[in-house]
């Protein structure tokens, strides 16, 4: 299984458990690794057989724009399920970082892995 990845995709969303967080949009960083067989697309240089990371990025951004969650964990679970269904991805590893959420830390968040590699 090959891996197609997106690193440090910045998205804005409503996220947080505190009342003041529910009134603003905050930045999240999305790191995504997706299991994909690149051989069919590479054999014929066929874009239509490749996993379209631009389309995946657009889907992530649209999801973030429409989301309103308290927990980063919920954001990650729902996003993983959406991507696996929408793009027929058999396996993914998703890391969501919330920068500045904890003093003296560059970021905090969750990393999940779903599906079969």
CATH code where residue 80 lies: 3.30.1130.10
DSSP state of 24: S
Question: How far is Cα 12 from Cα 28, in angstroms, rounded to an integer?
Answer: 6
Whether residue 98 lies in the annotated active site: yes
DSSP state of 100: T
Q: What is the pLDDT of residues 42-82, one digit of tens each?
A: 999 999 999 999 999 999 999 999 999 999 999 999 999 99
Model confidence, pTM: 0.94
Question: Beta strand 68-69 with 26-36: parallel, antiparallel or unpaired?
Answer: unpaired
Residue 50: which domain range? Answer: 2-115
Number of domains in the chain: 1
The tokens 């999240």 sit on which residue? 28
> Is the pLDDT at 18 greater than 90, yes or no?
no
Q: How does DSSP assign 26-95, residue by residue? A: EEEEEEEEEEE--HHHHHHT-GGGS--HHHHHHHHHHHHHH-EES-HHHHHHHHHHHHHHHHT-SEEEEE
Task: Check 36, 80, 98, 109 and give the catalytic one.
Answer: 98
Question: How far is Cα 42 from Cα 10, in angstroms, rounded to an integer?
Answer: 29
Question: How far is Cα 108 from Cα 85, in angstroms, rounded to an integer?
Answer: 27
């Amino acid at each position: 299984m090959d891996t197609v990845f997106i690193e440090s995709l910045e998205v804005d969303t409503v996220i947080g458990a505190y009342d003041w967080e529910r009134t603003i949009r905050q930045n999240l960083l999305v790191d995504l690794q997706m299991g994909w067989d690149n051989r069919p697309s590479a054999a014929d240089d066929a874009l239509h057989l490749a996993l379209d990371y631009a389309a995946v990025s657009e889907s992530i951004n649209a999801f973030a724009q429409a989301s309103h969650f308290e927990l980063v964990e919920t954001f990650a679970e729902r996003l993983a399920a959406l991507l696996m269904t929408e793009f027929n991805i058999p396996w993914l590893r998703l890391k969501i970082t919330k920068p500045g959420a904890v003093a003296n830390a560059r970021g905090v968040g969750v990393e999940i892995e779903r599906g079969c590699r």
